[in-house]
Amino acid sequence: MSFIVFGSVAYFVSKKFLSPDLDLYISVNKYHFQKPIGPEPRIYFCFDLFKNQIRLNKNCDLNKVEPNHCGIQNEGPKGWDSLFLKSDPKLLADKTKTMLLSHKCKTVVLDFEGISNNVDFNRYWKWKTIYTQSLKKYFPVSLAAYPKTERTSLNPAAYFHDYSKICNLYDEIWLMTYDYHIPPYTPPGDIAPLNWVKQVVNYALIHCDQKQIRIGLATYGYDWDTGKTVLETQSFKKKSINIHVETAEKRKEKILYFHKKNGIHKFFIWAEGMFTLSH
């Protein structure tokens, strides 16, 4: 028997029941940094590109953990920021390499979000290609990708993630398969309904090898009455259908489905500190 953790419910199950080769990462959000609970490997999203620098977020004390797997985002003092695109990608990649190696990072996941609509796509793609290829000399490099069900998307930011390009450049594609329903843009509903996740995965498989795909599993939801995020760790009374939270059971359902249907065994949970691990 093996102890597999999926969130607020910890399942004692045989690994054969889920997948003999289940490959599950737990993402660590820099704003919910804490000491790991459970044996699953962590990916620490503690680094940010800002202008021509890479910075370690002050909330992350990596001396207390073994950050073998490291995530890079692009948040500045006022949130998501595109100023890093004005830097020399080779020089910034060299600074990145030095920073990551000093913290014993062995793999890298890039999570660039909130790119300004004023940024030219071709310029953005050229910058990111040079930066990525420079890093790949030292690390396997993966990309956290916006979920899409076709070439275009209602989410303008997803335009910057052309699956036909990114699947040829990155080792893995971390599909951010959550936030299908989100206030105030949609009516109440599951944030990652299984049928929608199926569509995203099927579209990704047109361009990507099955072994590249890592499916994202959420640990939160929304209260449409207030528009606020509801974490799985929080105790709340479900007053109406306006509160939807992704649960451990829903995550388990996705893992079972995609392993059986597509042979996909790679998943990641977003994010530690937002759900309960009970031992």
**Mean pLDDT within 230-243:** 69
Q: Does the pLDDT at position 236 exceed 80?
A: no
**Mean pLDDT within 247-273:** 92
Q: What pLDDT sits at residue 5?
A: 40
pLDDT digits (tens, 9 = 90+) for 80-95: 999 999 999 999 999 9
Choice between 3 and 38, residue whose per-residue pLDDT is larger: 38
What average pLDDT does the chain have?
86
pLDDT digits (tens, 9 = 90+) for 217-229: 999 999 898 988 8
Nearest C-alpha neighbor of 147 from the set 213, 237, 67: 213
Q: What pLDDT sits at residue 45?
A: 96
pLDDT digits (tens, 9 = 90+) for 182-223: 898 889 999 999 999 999 999 999 999 999 999 999 999 998
- Do 92 and 135 meet the contact criterion of CB atoms below 8 Å apart? no
pTM (2 d.p.): 0.89
